[in-house]
Amino acid sequence: MDLLAQYVMNGVMLGLMYALVALGFTLFFGVLDVVQFAHGDVLTAGAFVGLASYAALVGVGVDAALPQLIVVVLAATVSMALLGAVLGRTLVLPLRGAPALNTLLATLMGGTALRECIRLFYPGGSQPQRFPALLPTGSWSMGRFNLRVDNLLMLVAGVLLVLGLSLVLRRTRLGLAIRAVAQDEETARTMGIDFRRVVLLTFAIGSALAAFAGVMNGLYYNEINFGSGLLLGVIGFSAAVLGGLGSFEGAVLGGFLFAGLQTLGAVALPFASAYKDVFAFTVVILLMTWKPTGLIGEKLGERV
């Protein structure tokens, strides 16, 4: 039971990171019916901005962990929110009238350019970078179950972020505007909603979530890589599709389900846990074949 609890804890941490990435894809698809394939690279860029801000703080003599953590998170999320708005303005909105494949290719190439900029211009960017441990490193041991304080703090922060986003979408004027645009753009415009502003704010929010997930990933593994966003982006998109693209609850469910499949693959496969991703993606393909609209399909009304 102790070992099972350890696997569950690891799966929950991964699921939370995947859910944050999946929520970004869901927001983008909800307001514009587009898939923003630079999203994973935005996650990587956020992690590297956080690392650069940490190095700058150390350079000016700020050694306290709490101010470092605050600055790292704020620098990553704010800068990626601005970058997300720029990507939405330059790569997505101008292609609204074009086929969906054009937008997909534009964002895919934009993400590749961003990833290559990190590799070429960040000092040592082509090599894995050590991410600082900015959270308490203590732990509680109960048999073979080891609960790390930093994991617990990240879990609480991630859950609060997801709940906060849910409240914003359901209880604020901005959330109402986002849901209105997602449901019917034309009617939202006639009701006086600034469509362009809502879209750019949505891209900013989704990109900030990815940056937070990138910082979490760095704190969890104590390492970041210029290509780490590729796999996380694919997993996040798969989780969003699995849960039901356009569904908030579906994105969260898909993220945790995908992490659960990875954990199950690592535990259950007797020959090698290295195949856990193969196992998880195979099961996801089977689930999508069984239910193409996702586990929580978007409710659509028919116009008469």
For 115-144, the DSSP string reads HHHHHHHSTTTTS-EEPP--S---EEEETT
Residue 302 pLDDT > 60:
no
Segment (H or E) for 270: none
3-state secondary structure of 284: helix
pLDDT tens for each residue of 266-289:
777 666 567 788 888 989 999 888
With tokens 């073979």, the residue in question is: 144
- The stretch 150-164 carries a mean pLDDT of 95
**pTM, whole model, 2 decimals?**
0.93
- How far CA 131 is from CA of 52, 69, 221, 255, 265, in Å, comes to 10, 12, 8, 24, 27
pLDDT tens for each residue of 241-260:
999 888 899 999 999 999 99
What confidence score (pLDDT) does residue 129 get? 95
pLDDT tens for each residue of 85-118:
999 999 999 988 888 889 989 999 999 999 999 9
What confidence score (pLDDT) does residue 100 get? 83
What confidence score (pLDDT) does residue 304 get? 35
Percent of the chain with pLDDT over 90: 67
What confidence score (pLDDT) does residue 254 get? 94
What confidence score (pLDDT) does residue 212 get? 97
Q: What is the rounded distance in angstroms from the CA atom of residue 81 to the CA atom of residue 89?
A: 12
Query: Predicted confidence band at 298 (pLDDT cuts at 50, 70, 90)?
Result: low
